[in-house]
Structures are given as structure tokens and as C-alpha cells.
Amino acid sequence: MESHEALLDRWSKQPHHKGKGFIRDGIIDPELWGRAPRKVLLLLKEAYDEPGVTEGFDLREVIRDEWKGPRYKIWWTAAYWCYAIHHASSCIPALPESDRDYAAAGHSLLSSATINIKKSHGRSTSDDTEIGHLAQRDGEFLRAQVETIDPCVVICGNTWWAIRHLWPDAELIYGGLVWRVRSRLFIDFWHPANRFPNALNYYALGCLVQNSDIAPVATKPNSI
């Protein structure tokens, strides 16, 4: 954790981020991350902030301490995805439909990590030209952040096209959408803010996971 925070400190001091509301991200709840059955990282485009804001915030603290779990459709969708990967074995569990399952999905999000390519001056609608430019400019930091967090599965929310160059040794292993770098999977998937039905999102991701020779769960999922 210390090396990760030091990385964010160096990143925030880069000239193109200073005074633009740098948004810190990473492992949402380190204690839950340490007990997670699989380490899942959501690699997204940018976190929204109000125009003109010069002071940043910590996205991890917002999700963990202020919201205490998922809020809004984007984060509930992300929570379902984390839940599917955490609990996948010989089959994918059904899409959450009960209060207990919703609680388990929220727990799965808190047990995961989330990072954005664009760390400052976030907007509600992303400019892919800008995202691609920042993935190049901040590429060394982005790769270092992923390697420091060390997930076993990275869900790229419509971002693989932008960061693919950072892992030139990535091997395509399934469906044109799942790549492997050593023991880590990168899944080229939709952004969780997409407007497709929850079931389509959920079971499409489940299909990719099941056909990707994902590492077995080392420990039983945490109880809620």
C-alpha cells in the first residue's frame, strides 16, 4: 500500500495534473481485498468531478466510507461483475435478485479495486481521443499502478484499446476479448455505464470468464 500511495503522489505532481483535481483510486478496502477469493480490478476511463474543481478526492474513500458500497447504476453493474468473478467455479451464479445476493455483490465491489486512465479533470462524458492520449502520456504510471495492485483479473471497461500497448506480451486466449499476461487476465469488455440489460452484461462476462481457464478460487468467498 505504501508503494502504491507513493506512486499516486508522484503521479499527482505531474505538470498536466497539478491544480486539476487529481482523483486517487486503487484498492477500495485493503482488508477485504486481502481476503477476496479472486483479486479483481476495474480499469475505467475517468471519474466525474464538477467543472472548475481544483481539489481532488479519493474515489476509494467515497465508495467505501461515504457510500458504503455501490451507488448508481454504474457501480451496481460493476458490483455484479465483481460478484460473478469472485464466485465463478464450474458455473456462474445467477444474477443477484435477493437482498442477500445484493449484499454479497456490494461486498464484492468493496473487496475489489478500481482505477481510471484519466486521473484529473474528469467529465461525465469521455473523449476517447483524450483518453488515448493520456494512456500514452501516463502509460508508465498506469502500468506501474496495475502491477503494484497485482490483480488476477482486470476488467477493461471499454479501455483495452487504449492501454493494450502497455502489455505488448499479452497473449489472446479467448474470443478476441480475453488476454493473458503471465497469470493475469485482461478482459476487453463494455463500460459498466453501458445501457444494455443487467442480465446481458452479467452473463456475457460470465461466459468469457468460464472460457478463460481462470485460476481456481484459493479460499471460500467471505461471508456477509
Q: pLDDT by residue (tens digit) across 93-104?
A: 999 999 999 999
What domain range includes position 67? 2-210
Domain contains 189:
yes
Give which of 70, 75, 94, 114 is closest to 206, Cα–Cα: 94
Amino acid at 119: K
CB within 8 Å of 111: residues ≥ 6 apart: 28, 29, 32, 33, 35, 36, 40, 82, 86, 222
Domain contains 218:
no
The per-residue pLDDT for 213 is: 76
**Which band of pLDDT confidence, cut at 50, 70 and 90, is reported for residue 47?**
confident
pLDDT over 80 at 167, yes or no: yes
The per-residue pLDDT for 196 is: 95
Domain contains 149:
yes
Give which of 56, 70, 68, 69 is closest to 25, Cα–Cα: 56
Distance CA 153, CA 132 (A): 22
Strand order in the sheet with 171-174: 26-27, 113-118, 40-46, 153-157, 184-189, 178-181, 171-174
Element at 61 (helix H, strand E):
helix 59-61
Average pLDDT, the chain: 91
Domain contains 223:
no
Domain contains 57:
yes
pLDDT over 80 at 129, yes or no: yes
Q: What percent of the chain has pLDDT over 90?
A: 79
The per-residue pLDDT for 91 is: 84
pLDDT over 80 at 125, yes or no: no
Distance CA 95, CA 179 (A): 25
**Which band of pLDDT confidence, cut at 50, 70 and 90, is reported for residue 90?**
confident
Say which CATH number the domain at 52 has: 3.40.470
* The three three-digit cell numbers of residue 17, written as one number: 495534473
Distance CA 54, CA 185 (A): 35
Domain count, the chain: 1
* Ordered DSSP codes for 119-165: -SS--SS--HHHHHHHHHHTHHHHHHHHHHH--SEEEEES-HHHHGG
Residues 81-86: what's their mean pLDDT? 96
The per-residue pLDDT for 224 is: 35
* The three three-digit cell numbers of residue 65, written as one number: 466510507
**Which band of pLDDT confidence, cut at 50, 70 and 90, is reported for residue 53?**
low
